[in-house]
Amino acid sequence: MSTIQIEIQGSTVPFFKEVIDTITYYTFDTSATPPPEPMINAMLGLQLLDANSKLIMINHKAPGGLFPKIETEFDYEVTDLDDGRVQVIFSKKQNAASTTDFSQNSCKG
């Protein structure tokens, strides 16, 4: 299936959607944006996730301020890319309660 751009209200970067097999992948790149845009866009993207989807964030560094805010509901895997950026793949934890406060989208560092 092909990748399509989708509209995410409040986002500051384009989001893309692709379905591979039975998994929907949402992707966005905030590597060229200043804080707090990476956090804002990540929080918006995380709201799209269910058991059959993943969110892929490309950023200039791992969003360390984001992880404590979401770790009870979401898993994440950080990979260093060859160009110095990082890729973070988020997925919703199985049977996780919806406890994330998505309004907490600012970072302090």
- Would residue 109 count as lying in a domain? no
Q: Is residue 43 part of a domain?
A: yes
Is residue 14 domain-resident?
Answer: yes
Whether 103 maps to a domain, the answer reads: no
Whether 97 is in a domain gets the answer no
CB atoms within 10 A of CB 42: 27
48-81 confidence digits (pLDDT tens) = 999 999 999 999 999 999 999 999 999 999 999 9
* Predicted structure pTM score: 0.93
Domain assignment present for residue 88? The answer is yes
- Residue 101 in any domain: the answer is no
| Cα angle for residues 39, 42, 47 (degrees, 5° grid) | 130
Percent of the chain at pLDDT exceeding 70: 95
Position 24 in a domain: yes
- pLDDT value of position 109: 46
Structural domains in the chain (count):
1
- pLDDT for the residue numbered 32: 97
Domain that holds residue 59: 4-92
Flag whether pLDDT at 108 surpasses 60: no
Per-residue pLDDT reduced to its tens digit, 4-61: 999 999 999 999 999 999 999 999 999 999 999 999 999 999 999 999 999 999 999 9
Domain containing 62 — which CATH number? 3.30.110.40
CA pair distance 19, 15, nearest whole angstrom: 14
DSSP 12: S
